[in-house]
Structure 1
Amino acid sequence: MRKFTGLVCALALGATSMTSFAASDRAKLDERLANASAVLHEVMATPDKGIPQSILAGASCVVVIPSFKKGAFVVGGQYGQGVATCRTGHGWSAPVFVQLAGGSFGFQIGGQSTDLVLVAMNQNGLQDMLKNKFKIGGDAAASAGPVGRNAQAGTDWKLNAEFLTYSRSKGLFAGIDLDGTVLSQNEDDTRTIYGANVPFKAVLSGEQTPPPDTRAFVRTVAKYFVISKDAQ
């Protein structure tokens, strides 16, 4: 009888721990969504220094990675966790949780934390996003995006770049190089938010209804990445 009682208690404690961990994971994802929304609000707070309307109107997908980390001491490494959504025929998709990781080698010392926004600008960029995993600078070309309400960018990014990158540096480095980094789905986070490992493509194609706690982020993207009458 004592053994049975002990087993029941152990199972109860295990269930409580699992629920606690799940709640903790969910809270972290909620925080990441809130931080991603805040990044967009802050970037677009001053239109003269934000993303131009032509870019906002033409975007196929948007990836926001708050506090992307890059550090180096002889061997460099980059890593960040973020959120992505793509434009569909009926608005912006439910978000997927992504991770951006990579490394570099060289004689370098320093570190930085950067808020990063990647914008897919054409069908090639969209198809790269739907692959679940791709290398920037290898599988997909990326360029620094133009900034400002009336920014007149060159034509190179229109012809070649599948992604435009925007960053707000907070650390010691003046810039950020994303070549060689890999963007992929965070399957654990996807499972946490959707209750199952929903395919990356299914979510970004608009087949998944946004869970309630993800809708604020989707609304934020929809607020700024709109197709105006002038841009059509």
Structure 2
Amino acid sequence: MKRITVIACGLAMVASSVSAFAASDKAKLTERLTDAQNVVRQIMATPDKGIPQSILAGASCVVVVPSYKKAAFVVGGQYGQGVATCRTPRGWSAPVFVQLAGGSFGFQIGGQATDLVLVAMNQQGLQDMLKNKFKIGGDAAASAGPVGRNAQAGTDWKLNAEFLTYSRSKGLFAGINLDGTVLSQNQDDTRTMYGTDLPFQTILKGNQATPPEARPFVRTVAHYFVVSKANQ
């Protein structure tokens, strides 16, 4: 009887530890969503230096990879964690947790981590997002996005680019070349947030309710999309 009690106590302690770790991981994901929301707000708060409204108004998906304050980027490893949401007939989708890795770009500019924003511009860009894992510049054509309220770039991105890519470091915001990087779902983080394994496309097609922790981020993207459409 004593042995059974000891085993039961041990199992209870393990369950408690697992629950605590899960809560800790979810708190980190909530912080990432808040950071992503702040990146979008700060970029759009300076329209003369931000993503042109004509671009955001036509966006199919938005990916935000915010910088981390606690060594979240592997030094020199060209690696980052972020979130993605896509436009659906019912509004913007719940977010998928993603990771961006590889390529020849650097996340560290002058020793400071960089915020990244990727904007899928057409249905093909959306389909590439739904592949679960693809190489930017290979599976999906990408261009460094134009910046500013009335920015006029060449017609290449309008005709060919499935993604427009941006970076922000030390307060400076500009287009960036991310060719060669691989975007994929972070399945562990997605599982932590949703409590189960969900396919990339199930979430981004709007077939999953947005968790309370993610609503501020999704609402922020939706807000600037609506504002941009109204100002067209």
Distance 1:121-1:103 versus aligned 2 partners, 3 A rule: closer
Unaligned runs of 5+ in 2: none
Query: Per-residue deviation at 1:2?
Result: 2.6
Query: Per-residue deviation at 1:175?
Result: 8.3
Give the Cα separation in 1 of the matches to 2:231 and 2:27: 40
Distance 1:182-1:155 versus aligned 2 partners, 3 A rule: same
Query: Per-residue deviation at 1:71?
Result: 4.4
Give the Cα separation in 1 of the matches to 2:30 and 2:231: 35
Q: Deviations over 1:174-227 (max 9, x none)?
A: 985422111001111111111111111011001111111111110000011225
Unaligned runs of 5+ in 1: none
- Asked whether the equivalents of residues 33 and 83 of structure 1 are also in contact (C-alpha less than 8 Å), the reply is yes
Query: Per-residue deviation at 1:23?
Result: 0.3
Give the Cα separation in 2 of the matches to 1:89 and 1:61: 13
Compute the TM-score of the two structures, normalised by the length of structure 1.
0.89
Q: What RMSD, in angstroms, separates the aligned Cα atoms of the two structures?
A: 2.2
Give the Cα separation in 2 of the matches to 1:90 and 1:132: 22
Give the Cα separation in 2 of the matches to 1:230 and 1:125: 24
Distance 1:71-1:24 versus aligned 2 partners, 3 A rule: closer
Compute the TM-score of the two structures, normalised by the length of structure 2.
0.89
Distance 1:203-1:175 versus aligned 2 partners, 3 A rule: closer
Which structure shows the higher strand fraction?
1
Q: Deviations over 1:78-132 (max 9, x none)?
A: 1110000000111101111001111549xxx975410000000011100000111
Query: Per-residue deviation at 1:42?
Result: 0.6
Percent of aligned pairs with the same amino acid: 75
Give the Cα separation in 1 of the matches to 2:100 and 2:143: 16
Give the Cα separation in 2 of the matches to 1:111 and 1:175: 19
Give the Cα separation in 1 of the matches to 2:64 and 2:175: 17
- 3-state secondary structure, aligned to 2:148: coil
Give the Cα separation in 2 of the matches to 1:126 and 1:151: 24
Give the Cα separation in 1 of the matches to 2:212 and 2:159: 38
- Asked whether the equivalents of residues 62 and 84 of structure 2 are also in contact (C-alpha less than 8 Å), the reply is yes
Tell me which residue corresponds to 1:100: 100
Tell me which residue corresponds to 2:229: 228
- 3-state secondary structure, aligned to 2:116: strand
- 3-state secondary structure, aligned to 1:225: helix
Tell me which residue corresponds to 1:54: 54
Distance 1:140-1:123 versus aligned 2 partners, 3 A rule: same
Query: Per-residue deviation at 1:50?
Result: 1.0
Q: Deviations over 1:33-66 (max 9, x none)?
A: 0000000011111111111111011000000000
Give the Cα separation in 2 of the matches to 1:153 and 1:104: 24
Tell me which residue corresponds to 1:195: 195
